[in-house]
């Protein structure tokens, strides 16, 4: 799992790590070599285990275990079942290596020849952090503002009101109406004026607001 994690895959991979596109030789060579040694060790143990199992099975088939004490005969039966379980475990382990780890290594160019060379001469493949070029920062496009539906309540006024947001005319709310308008949310400059009155930008016509869904401005008019 740690070997796969070094490739950015599996449960131990960094959540926000960079996508691995080339073989990280310096990081995976040692783990690859350790995995190879473990596989060879399992193969040697498997040969010894199979020889011991065949010895017991051969004597059991010949009836040599019939004269054993009950506990010993039970142990023979248990060993035969344990051997089959061990075979299944070894097959699963090899399948994980052959069908899981090796394909992921091949995708990023980690061949057995390359990894073996890195194990034999690690200094040649070691990454010098001081000579590593600085990563080019990636400029992310600005995130679009969320749209917000807000309301202008002009129920109490006899004149329509023009709605301006950041210097752009957004719409007009008729007299005696409460209307919904849609604009980019967040901090905005709002201007509410009646036709023929002051102009946006005149003293007292602009106000800073934070638009969000449900925000409401109520017009209060002199009767």
35-58 tens-digit pLDDT? 888 888 877 887 888 888 888 888
Question: For the residues 70-97, what does the mean pLDDT come to?
Answer: 79
The three-point CA angle 15-18-23 to 5° equals: 120
* Distance of alpha carbon 169 from alpha carbon 200, whole angstroms: 10
Question: For the residues 106-111, what does the mean pLDDT come to?
Answer: 84
What is the model's pLDDT at position 54? 84
* Distance of alpha carbon 22 from alpha carbon 20, whole angstroms: 6
Instruction: Label residue 182 by pLDDT band (50, 70, 90).
Output: very high
Whether this prediction's pTM lies above 0.75 is answered by no
Question: For the residues 157-175, what does the mean pLDDT come to?
Answer: 91
Question: For the residues 171-195, what does the mean pLDDT come to?
Answer: 90
Question: For the residues 64-76, what does the mean pLDDT come to?
Answer: 81
């Amino acid at each position: 799992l740690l070997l796969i994690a070094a490739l950015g895959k599996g449960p131990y991979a960094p959540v926000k790590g960079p996508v691995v596109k080339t073989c990280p030789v310096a990081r995976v060579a040692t783990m690859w070599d350790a995995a190879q040694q473990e596989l060879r060790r399992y193969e040697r143990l498997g040969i010894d285990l199979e020889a011991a199992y065949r010895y017991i099975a051969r004597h059991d088939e010949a009836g040599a275990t019939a004269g054993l004490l009950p506990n010993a005969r039970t142990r023979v039966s248990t060993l035969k079942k344990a051997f089959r379980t061990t075979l299944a475990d070894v097959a699963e382990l090899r399948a994980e290596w052959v069908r899981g780890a090796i394909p992921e290594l091949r995708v990023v160019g980690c061949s057995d020849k390359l990894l073996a060379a890195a194990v034999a001469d690690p200094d040649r493949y070691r990454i010098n952090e001081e000579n590593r070029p600085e990563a080019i920062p990636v400029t992310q496009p600005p995130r679009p503002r969320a749209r917000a539906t807000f309301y202008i309540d002009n129920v109490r006024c006899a004149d329509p009101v023009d709605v301006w947001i950041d210097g752009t005319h957004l719409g007009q709310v008729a007299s005696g109406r409460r209307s919904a308008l849609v604009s980019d949310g967040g901090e905005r400059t709002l201007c509410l004026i009646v036709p023929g009155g002051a102009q946006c930008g005149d003293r007292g016509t602009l106000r800073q607001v934070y638009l969000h869904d449900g925000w409401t401005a109520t017009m209060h008019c002199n009767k």
